[in-house]
Amino acid sequence: MSLNAYLTLAALVFAIGLFGVLTRRNAIGILLGIELMLNAVNINLVAFARFHGDLRGLVFTLFTIAITVAEVAVGLAIVIVIFRVRRTVEADRLDLLRG
Amino acid sequence: MTLEMVGFWMVAAVLVASSLAVVLTPNLFHAVLYLAAALVATGLVFLLLDSPFLFAVQLLLYAVGVMTVVVFAIMLTERLVGERIVQTSRSLLNGAVVAGAVFVGVVGFLIRAPRSVLRPTLDADAIPAIGRALVGPFAVTLELLGLLLVVALLGALYFARTDE
Amino acid sequence: MPTAVPHGVGLDPAATNMALLVVLLPFVAFVLLAVVAPLRRRGQAAGAVSIAAIAVAFLAALFSWFVWKGDAHVQTWAWIPADEGPTATVGVLLDPLSNAMLVLVTLVSLLVQIYSLAYLRDERAPSLGRYYTYQSLFAFSMLGLVLSPSFIQMFVFWELVGLCSYLLIGYWYERPSAARAAVKAFWITKLGDLGFVIGIVMLWTATGTFEFHALFALAQEHALAIEGLGTIMLLIYLGAVGKSAQFPLHVWLPDAMEGPAPVSALIHAATMVTAGVFMVTRAQPLFVLVPDVLVLMGWVGAFTALLAATLACVESDIKRVLAYSTVSQLGYMMAAVGAGAPDAGFLHLLTHGLFKALLFLGAGAVIHAVGTNDIFRMGGLFRTMPQTGVVFIVGTLALAGLPPLAGFFSKEAVLAGVWDSGMTWPFLMLALSVLLTAFYMFRVVFLTFFGRVPATGHPHEPSWTMRGPLWVLATLTVLVGIRLAAGSLRGRHGPGWLAPLSVAAALGGIALAWAMYQRGAVDPGRLAATFPLSVIDALARRRYGIDGLYAGLYRGFILAFSRLIGWIDRYLVDGVLNFVSALTLRGGDLLRRIQSGYAQDYVYGVAFGVLLLLVWAQWWAR
């Protein structure tokens, strides 16, 4: 398959992930959407690495996977703390940043 | 239709379907499971792109590790005991429009690119080259990554502890 | 660093340093009194400081008169530096004109300040201290004015002198009439000052300098044929019109009598009001280039003299009579300058300074003793205050212009100058004024010092602190007169019939006053009722409506204008500001809604930004 096919696939998954971030009510649901977006990025990186013969894309992917893992851990820890304090993880109820 | 093409379409279908399921299904638990499926499908994409190493890493870290963590988090943040974990999303249309617009925007660039870029032939095995790159030019980055992981770990530990 | 020495003028530092001493001593006294409040609050001590300063200044002035009276010396320092020579300088110009003024100003200031110690004895000490602070400031300002080597320095001191006048007229500021009079004086003279400053600046724009010596040099080399010189000099003359109370800006001087008598003597007789005459005399080389302005000056001066004389005839307040008399005599001086005889005008300025100050101080003594200003409530004071009476009569005779007193010679010189210039109508006006002057002054004398004794008060001679200056001035009046008679130099003589005519006119006026007020042979009321005197009498009693005119103009134009400006300020200017602030607040409220607090809304924002970037990248970065 051509490069464009893979890139299109990645763009589609990215858009779906974005949709999930924008519409999900549960905080963890939002995090799942973020996962999808990061995943799509990885597909992009690997596709470029393969089609341009450049190793750096693969290395970059490794790094992003590791970083994502860290981010998920911390993000979920925060969600847990919010749940403890506010007794809810619904994004609609969390408006402490209101100006 | 080469084998590779067939494989691509199949994996792509699975990936897209499970992604949609992740964001649309009302039950959060189901969403997590669908995400696992999407992550495995991504791993298969990596395999199609001649990176078995990354396929393995994806499976191990994402499909297994991240999912475990997410499941635990769900357990901790829902009032269970027989309750179904329901999800209703807010204003689906707005989100769809915006996400669709982003997709169109990106694809707009892709259309301009030349149609078919041929795959170059694989000369050497990637895995040793990756290894050499990690301890060579990317050594510092690797170390920093380790540091990041330690910090994230500590942070998560700190957050998650109970106050006594 | 002193600036370049002008051509033809000496640069003797001793002379200019002496002049600086004269002007700076009162300044030091002023600063001392202004800053050291405890000193100022002990009234008599403040008086001592001020008097000491002016006394030494007087001695210095006298010294410089005897040593350098014929020469001219100048010393200037750059004030506003510029590339080709300073734009404005500050310094002293000591020549016969300013030297004479130095002596006059310091002498009269000294006598007045000594006199004030007794006259204002009943004032509270802090008020008295304030008085002497102002007196020192005034002395400094007036001396600085006469020593100015440039128009701009003169203007600065001009304004300062006006300020001091305001402060001293309103010395008893708790009295509403005094406060009003001070403001009125300030306003009316400010009108003239407006013309003055515009004229100066126009002159500077045309010639590039404010300095007198440079301007006079240009005038001499006929290099001053600029357009609109007439307008410029007319505007500058306007300043003199205001300051020296010429018609129609004379209305402030009678009201200025609200101030204490010594203030009237100093400022409104001998010194400040003469600043206008001084300035016109100083700027003679420029005025001779515009003969039309000089002719106007002569006419206005003569008319002012006559007008004020008629107004004095119907006044019953002794100080007001003297005020109108001052206006009248200022008219004489300006008429002389306008007729091309500035030396005569200046001579009259000097002699008038002496005897008018004398008359005011004498009037002050009378007021202090009797407790009223109204001459119809006085009478027979000669018996109880003979010395005051004598000096007052000496002053009156000088003012009327009888030989051998000083006033005769200076008045004769003025009349001669006007006659020689061929200005007939002004001459007639001035001659008539001679008669009227003698008349109204002796009216005052007869009503005040002779006649029936009224029932009120016990008048007595004032203390020697007040009497001393009176005798000094009276003696000087006589001595100066004798000196003028003996020297028979300064001043013109005119045609042979002039001197007898003026003496006859004066005697005629005295005789008329004697007949009306001493003898009762002619009833003033009946005389005033006969035509055409009745018309003049009626008009004069209403001050010819000029005050009313000014008040009407003020109410009609200035107040209306103020109200308009006020409306603009409140509704337009403030309106714009209020609108902008309301806009900001409303805008802030609207923008606040972006901060919903929901993280997903912020993601929407990010997504929009990304979309914009994509669009931009598509189209622009082609």
Task: Provide ipTM, 2 decimals.
Answer: 0.91
Q: Give B9-40 pLDDT, tens digit per residue.
A: 999 999 999 999 999 888 888 899 999 999 99
Q: Which residues, including other chains, have CB under 8 Å from residue C530's CB and lie 6 or more apart?
A: none
Is it the case that residue B89 has pLDDT exceeding 80? no
Angle at C339 between CA C334 and CA C340, to 5 degrees: 100
Q: What is the 3-state secondary structure (H, E, C) of C160-171?
A: HHHHHHHHHHCC
Nearest to B102 among C610, C617, C618 (CB): C610
CA distance C604 to chain A (A): 7
What was the pLDDT predicted at C194? Answer: 92
Bridge partner list, C77: C2, C90
pLDDT band at C8 (very low <50, low <70, confident <90, very high): low
Task: With beta carbons under 8 A apart, name residues in chain C contacting B102.
Answer: 607, 610-611, 614
Domain with B44, as residue range(s), is 3-88+125-160
Q: Which residues pair with C76 in a beta bridge?
A: C91
Q: Do B109 and C618 touch (CB under 8 A)?
A: yes
Contact A62 B19 (CB under 8 A): no
pLDDT tens digits, residue range C186-214? 888 898 999 999 999 998 888 888 888 88
Nearest CA in chain C to B99: C607
Of B49, B98, B133, the CB nearest to A59: B133
Asked if the bond preceding C404 is cis, omega within 30° of 0, the reply is yes
On chain A, the residues whose CB falls within 8 A of the CB of B115 are 2, 4
Question: pLDDT at position B81, please?
Answer: 42
Locate C591 and state its tokens: 């923008």
Q: Which chains touch C (3 or more CB pairs under 8 A)?
A: A, B
Residues C360, C541, C183, CA angle at the centre, nearest 5°? 60
Instruction: Please name the chains neighbouring A, where neighbouring means 3+ C-beta pairs under 8 angstroms.
Output: B, C
Is C528 a residue whose pLDDT tops 80? Answer: no
Kindly tell me the burial class for residue B30, based on how many C-beta atoms sit within 10 Å of its own C-beta (0-12, 13-18, 19 or more): middle
What percent of chain C is modeled with pLDDT above 90?
A: 31
Cα gap C24→A9, rounded to integer Å = 96
Question: Do the chains contact at B77 and A51, CB–CB below 8 Å?
Answer: no
Give yes or no for residue B55 having a pLDDT over 90: yes
Q: State the CB neighbour count (10 A cutoff) for residue A58.
A: 25
3-state SS, one letter per residue, for C532-582:
CHHHHHHHHHCHHHHHHHHHHHHHHHHHHHHHHHHHHHHHHHHHHHHHHHH
For residue B105, give the amino acid letter: G
User: Of the candidates A11, A22, A46, which has its C-beta nearest B46's C-beta?
Assistant: A46
The shortest C-alpha distance from C614 to chain A (Å) reads 13
Contacts of B105 in chain C (CB under 8 A): 610-611, 614-615, 618
Count: domains in chain B: 1
Asked if the structure places residue B41 within a domain, the reply is yes
**What is the distance in angstroms between the Cα of A30 and the nearest Cα belonging to chain C?**
9
What confidence tens digit (pLDDT) does each residue in C471-496 have?
A: 998 888 888 888 887 765 545 666 77
Burial-class residue C236 by CB neighbours within 10 Å (0-12, 13-18, 19+).
buried
pLDDT of residue C16: 80
What does the alpha-carbon distance between residue C103 and residue C49 come to, in Å, rounded to a whole number?
20
pLDDT at C455 over 60: no
Q: Tell me how far apart the alpha carbons of residues C252 and C263 are, in angstroms, rounded to a whole number.
A: 15
Does A21 contact chain C (CB < 8 Å)?
A: yes
Is residue C286's pLDDT more than 90?
no
Q: What is the pLDDT, as a whole number, of residue C225? A: 67
Q: Cβ of A18 under 8 Å from any chain C Cβ? A: yes
- Does the bond joining C403 to the residue before it have cis omega, within 30 degrees of 0? no
Shortest Cα–Cα distance, C605 to chain B (Å): 10
- Given a cut of 90, whether residue C106 has pLDDT beyond it is yes
Q: Name the pLDDT band for C107 (thresholds 50, 70, 90).
A: very high
**C607 with A99: Cβ contact below 8 A:** no
Nearest residue in C to A20, CA atom: C600
Domain A3-93 in CATH 1.10.287.3510: yes
For residues C360-372, give the mean pLDDT: 88
If one compares C171 and C404, the residue with the highest pLDDT of the two is: C171
pLDDT tens-place string over residues C133-154:
999 999 999 999 999 988 989 9
CA nearest to A8, candidates B15, B73, C613? B15
Q: What is the mean pLDDT of chain C?
A: 85
Which among C236, C417, C243 is positioned nearest to C336, based on CA atoms?
Answer: C417
CA distance A97 to chain B (A): 19
DSSP string, C263-304: HHHIIIIISTTHHHHHHHHHTHHHHTT-HHHHHHHHHHHHHH
Q: What is the pLDDT of residue C461?
A: 81
Residue C402 has which token pair?
């009888």
**Rounded average pLDDT over C278-305:** 90
CB contact under 8 A, C610 and B94: no
Q: Which residue in the set B94, B99, B105 is minimally distant from C614, CB to CB? A: B105
> What residues contact residue C504 under an 8 Å CB cut-off, 6+ apart?
none
Q: Can you give the pLDDT of all 99 residues of chain A as single tens digits?
A: 688 889 999 999 999 999 999 988 888 889 999 999 999 999 999 999 888 888 888 999 999 999 999 999 899 888 888 888 888 778 877 878 786
The single-letter code of the amino acid at C232 is I
Query: What is the CA angle C43-C46-C47, rounded to 5?
Result: 85
Give chain B's end-to-end CA distance (angstroms, integer).
Answer: 64
Residue B83 has pLDDT above 50, yes or no: no
Three-state DSSP state, C2: strand
Structure confidence by residue, pLDDT tens digits, C11-64: 777 788 888 888 899 999 999 999 988 888 888 888 899 999 999 999 999 988
A vs B: CB pairs below 8 A: 223
Tell me which residue has tokens 């002050």: C364
SS3 C76: strand
- Binary contact (C600, A97; C-beta < 8 A): no
Ranges of each domain in chain A: 3-93
Check CB contact of A30 with chain C, cutoff 8 Å. Answer: yes
HSE (CB half, 13 Å, CA atoms) of C331? 30
Q: Does B100 touch chain A (CB under 8 A)?
A: yes
Q: Once rounded to an integer, what is the mean pLDDT over residues C392-396? A: 91
- CA C216, chain centre distance (Å): 25
Chain A residues with beta carbon closer than 8 angstroms to that of B1:
none
Instruction: Give every CB contact of residue B163 below 8 A, 6+ residues apart in sequence.
Output: none
How far apart, in Å, are the Cα atoms of C52 and each of C34, C127, C433? 16, 19, 40
What is the rounded CA–CA span in Å between residue A18 and residue A12? 10
Do B110 and A20 make contact, defined as CB atoms within 8 angstroms? no
**Token duo for residue C427:** 């001459």
pLDDT for position B124:
65
**What is the H or E stretch that residue C312 is in?**
helix C291-313
Q: Does C549 touch chain B (CB under 8 A)?
A: no
Nearest to B126 by CA among B72, B62, B52, B58: B52
Mean pLDDT across B134-151: 92
CB atoms within 10 A of CB B91: 11
